[in-house]
Amino acid sequence: MNIPAKILVVEDEGIVAKDIENRLQKFGYHVCKTVATGEDAIAQISELKPDLVLVDIRLQGDMDGIAVAQILHHHFELPVVYLTASSDEYIVTRALATHPFGYIVKPFREQELKTTIEIALNKYLVEQNLKQNKYWLRTVLKSINNGVIASDTEGKITLMNPIAEALTGWNRQDACGKEATEVVKIIPTQTISEHPIQQALQKGITVEISERSQLIDKNGLEIPIDDSIAPIKDDRGNIVGTMLVFQDISERQQVEAMHQKQIEQEQMLVQMEKMHELKDDFLSTVSHELRTPIANMKMAIQMLKTSPSSEKRQRYLEILQAECNREAELITELLDLQRLETASYPTLVQEAVNLQEWLPQIMEPFLIRAQENQQLLEIRLDPNLSQILTDRASLERAIAELANNACKYTPMGGAIVVSVQPQLAPCTAYQLPTTRTIFTVRNQAEIPATELPKIFEKFYRIHNSDRWKQGGTGLGLTLVQKLVEHLQGTLQVESQEGWTTFTMELPDEQGAVISDR
């Protein structure tokens, strides 16, 4: 049920006042009172609490209707509709200065009175809603932790909340009306052609502010901020301004930096613990590997002292010699690995190597060994292969270790293929074609898929695969990997369909071709 609006009538002519009251009641309004003077109206306004005041401009007493309307407008914010028989320009100008909600000239028609009052009440209701929304918005803007700045279609500031004042160093009175780009100075990490506020205005898009952006306040202090600038659009989609929402992320960045530092420290601790474990495991393994030959040598020496026959003494001497060689080989490989891992290995000494002559010489001992084992060892050299610049000693040892590994694990009747070929890398718009050298060692023995990822680990040996019972340190492939890294090359291995293939590729620095023509 709608409650009728209460109307206060201020009219000094009794007959006219009664006529107006009757008509208003006929319209469905409630006339809370009719008074003849402005003083009575002001005195009773707080008690009556009308929704609208209908006031004649000419009244009895010292106050005319315009004076009454001024007080009602400034102190009570009540809507006023004037009734007057005068159309004097001066009076009209005074009346308009009080922001009336209507102006009716006597004599008036009944419908005119009704329409004017309805319009005035509706206008007052709209204004009250706008004021409430304004107060609500102002309260929200004051309470949120983000800075908020609004601008009009020309990019001039129209609104600014306290947080924005604090962050920019500008107070609202000084900032409003100024160019937003003058107040909000943002330094992005990447160079852009226009300010984000201009982008939002011209393109009608929301512009995200990077977390790495800096706001320069009025005093020149840089403050890290983030958030966004969005265009404000009316019901028809027309851009009527922008809204910048931003926040100081200094504390967040500090927390994130501390968190990241904590993560890095935890990772470092984990790595250090892992390194300690690896070190302990390595020392344990090295200790075992070094002691085993020594124990065998002690045993051989002891047996030599008590052996009655020359044949047994010869056998123990052979064991002693083999274990001495094994111990020396292990110590040499450990020292080489330590030097390679600590970057104290001798620097690369490049020299010209003729692969057509060099490789057969390196492989000669392995050809003899393959024949003894009834293996087929084949050397394939590309006819276009020429001299290369490389560290001869490091390359020779890497190839020898791979060949030794192939002979060791290839069964009787199996094949071993050692090949070398040049490879021309394609040229690009920024780089001339370069020559790379590919060394491949293939042997007819397959490594289980579960074992393949571990073969470069120190002291790792594939179980039950040493067909010729030749033993070893378990450091050969580890050393090859480090030597190839020392040569600034790459080493890959694959094992399938009964074959294992090691591919060593030297970069152009190590494999640069030297023409011998």
Region 245-256: mean pLDDT is 84
* Secondary structure of residue 121 in the 3-state scheme: helix
Residue 386 within any structural domain of the chain: yes
CATH number at residue 499: 3.30.565.10
d(CA 75, CA 89): 26
Q: What is the pLDDT of residues 258-270, one digit of tens each?
A: 888 889 888 888 8
Residue 437 within any structural domain of the chain: yes
Residues 494 and 398 in one domain: yes
**pLDDT for residue 465:** 56
Q: What is the pLDDT of residues 181-233, one digit of tens each?
A: 888 888 764 445 567 777 777 777 777 766 567 888 888 888 888 777 888 88
Residue 76 within any structural domain of the chain: yes
Boundary residue ending a domain (211, 227, 248): 248
The least confident of 210-214, 418-422, 487-491 is 210-214
Q: pLDDT higher for 509 or 142?
A: 142
Residues 45 and 112 in one domain: yes
Q: What is the pLDDT of residues 36-74, one digit of tens each?
A: 999 999 999 999 999 999 999 988 888 999 999 999 988
Boundary residue ending a domain (90, 112, 140): 140
d(CA 292, CA 327): 9
Residue 492 within any structural domain of the chain: yes
Q: pLDDT higher for 9 or 314?
A: 9
Residues 331 and 372 in one domain: no
pTM for the model stands at 0.41
Percentage of the chain lying above the pLDDT 90 cut = 19
Which DSSP string do the residues of 434-462 spell out, in sequence order? EEEEEEEEEES-PPPTTTGGGTTSTT---
Residue 504 within any structural domain of the chain: yes
Boundary residue ending a domain (341, 374, 400): 341
CATH number at residue 260: 1.10.287.130
Residues 376 and 510 in one domain: yes
CA-nearest of 462, 474, 466, 470 to 285 is 474
Cβ neighbours of residue 211 closer than 8 Å, sequence gap 6 or more:
224, 226, 249, 253
Residues 334 and 364 in one domain: no
- pLDDT of 81 strictly over 90: yes
Residues 87 and 11 in one domain: yes
Domain ranges, residue 284: 254-341
Residues 65 and 131 in one domain: yes
Residues 275 and 168 in one domain: no
Region 6-27: mean pLDDT is 92
**pLDDT for residue 123:** 92
Q: What is the pLDDT of residues 439-473, one digit of tens each?
A: 899 998 888 888 888 888 876 666 555 554 555 55
Residue 157 within any structural domain of the chain: yes
Residues 361 and 500 in one domain: yes
CATH number at residue 75: 3.40.50.2300
Average pLDDT, whole number, for the chain? 81
- How many domains does the chain contain in total? 4
Q: Which secondary-structure segment (H or E) carries 47?
A: helix 38-48
Q: pLDDT higher for 145 or 96?
A: 96
Residues 235 and 259 in one domain: no
CATH number at residue 167: 3.30.450.20
Q: Residue 516 — φ and ψ, nearest 5°?
A: -105, 20
Residues 458 and 494 in one domain: yes
Residues 463 and 387 in one domain: yes
Q: What is the pLDDT of residues 372-414, one digit of tens each?
A: 889 899 999 988 887 888 888 888 888 888 888 888 888 888 9
CA-nearest of 433, 413, 415 to 424 is 433
Residue 204 within any structural domain of the chain: yes
Strands 147-151 and 6-10: unpaired
Residue 1 within any structural domain of the chain: no
